[in-house]
Structure 1
Amino acid sequence: MRAVRLHEHGGPEVLRYDEVPIPEPGPGEVLVRVHAVGVNPPDWYLRDGLTNLPPETRPKFSLPVIPGTDLSGVVEAVAADVDGLSVGDEVFGLLRFPSFDGSTYAEYVVAPASDLALKPAGIDHVHAAGAPMAGLTAWQFLIELGHDHPSPFQAAQHRPVPLGANMTVLINGAAGGVGHFALQLAKWKGARVIAVASGAHESFLRELGADEFIDYTKSRPEELVHDVDLVLDAVGGPDSKRFLRTLKRGGSQFPVFFGEFDEEETVKLGVTVTGTQVRSNGAQLAELGRLLDAGTVRVAIDSTFALADARAAHERAARGHIQGKIVLTVA
């Protein structure tokens, strides 16, 4: 089969289109013929050698490695001990995360059956492949954590805040993969949503249900907004702390990518900062799948590239301002 592999770390040019053996499923696994692959930030973190992660949080891996975690495809073979999945089933999933052993940039992938859900019949493989990591990140931050594994970035377990009609949620990076799912899930729960993104995304985010839009290239959200109940910062990082001043006392901030916060400041403001690390979860993905099937939540596709053109997909990602998801298609 053909697969994209990394033999060394570096820029998009190190992604190589190789011939490799088709893997065989072990206990608890199925073989999936891949139709589409979602592209996610951990794919380029791996390509770069995980240099942006603290050394103690870096998963172990060895080169050459096939990147990728998200897929949509069709079950080709099933281990004898697997129940609930059959040859011919259309499935989607986030594989083996937070390890980097998903290996989805390939024509065939072996997947733990517990990481998969049946693909919603109402959407195609491209849209299904765009959902797992970004959708489960939004779900585990906002709706239900779904596991008791500790986060490598904080001692306390993350606890989502119950969302409802009396809540105002600010979402920074609202047009990206996690952001556009978070916006739709918050609206599903009845919250009022303030979306922060660049101006080009305003009509897209209002279509998804944003009640208010802030173009961060023209205004500073932290100077315009006050007394919100929850900030979900899908960008995160060192600048995330600027959103603390938008929160009311008792409010919470969820940085998706770990940030730098002063505990003294958060105590003084009376706010909570908490996050988690997304984990594979087929059962939660099935719940999200029902919302996708009903049209309650939709997957926006920024662009698609053939698997052989993974380099171009990573170059697109590096340019930023992504609206929804980048997806690789497998012939």
Structure 2
Amino acid sequence: MQENSYQQLAQAILDGHTVCRMTVLDGDDMGKSRNVVDGVPFVDAAEDISACKPPFICTDRKTGARVLCETLCQQKTLLVCGGGHVSMPVVKLGKMLGYRVLVADDRPEFAEPSRFPEADEVVCRDFTDLLVHLDWESLPDLSVVIVTRGHAADTVCLREVLRHTCTYVGMIGSKRKNKAVFDLLRSEGVTEEQLSQVHAPIGLSIGAETPEEIAVAIVGELIQTRRGSANAGLSEAMLTALAEGQTGIMATVVRKQGSAPRGMGARMFFMDNGHKLGTVGGGLAEYEVCQKAETLKQERKPCLLTFNMSNGEAGKSGMICGGMIDVLFEVVG
């Protein structure tokens, strides 16, 4: 492991690369990290990490130290399988949230770019052919919304998507239809663990009826899923500041327990010039993180601390969300 290398990380991401980052959480090497550009050579772990979805923590087989493993990139991608009436508002909302949006349908009249002026790419192609040949490795932060014309095409899409790790997978349809799809895939050897990744019926339960309302429910669920798990990433403002050589303290959530608002990978950068970027969830925990970061600007040493949002009178009275987060503080520059 090397000393902290956020400037290298930020520049690689801004240049369009995907970076695997491994950061030591224990011992004398705490805060040291290694960036691997366009590759997946995570640490030689004592555990089986073959099914782990970044970010995750594992144990270095050689040193016994815990290591935070992340896959970071600038671009989050939304693939919408199906070009029907629900897809149109989903695409609009996806672009509003900063996604690179791809739309696919096997019918020319529904894969018409004029239907999706906000989309980055609209493809008319057989679903199986599209998904089999998709460059999955180049899309580490990929969310898939399956809203095709019927359960047969939905099944084709879901079968291929579940061969890969995605940030979010959702499939439209009734409980009865989705059960039939799941039962078929089970008979083909798809595991319960794989099926548990699928949000079906798709979308938050908000009583949505119109295509626009359904799109809001879908995108709301997508946001909820991303915020609670992987690929928190680094904002464009944070990447720019790091690439320009700004120094300070980086605070990263490395473990979440209970109802804490931000998940593993959420970051907040406290620059030496007094500016702050990002969030680790707000409220009491973020206030305490800010206080500690200011102290560390003087001490210039990494540390790992637990912040309990259930402590004190506010927690007892329900005024704060509760839960705990472990935060790694790293010295940048």
Would the TM-score normalized by the shorter structure come out above 0.5? Answer: no
Q: Shorter chain as normaliser: what TM range? A: under 0.3
Q: Which has the larger radius of gyration?
A: 2
Q: Which has the higher contact order (CA 8 A, sep 6+)?
A: 1
Give the TM-score normalised by structure 1.
Answer: 0.24
Give the TM-score normalised by structure 2.
Answer: 0.24
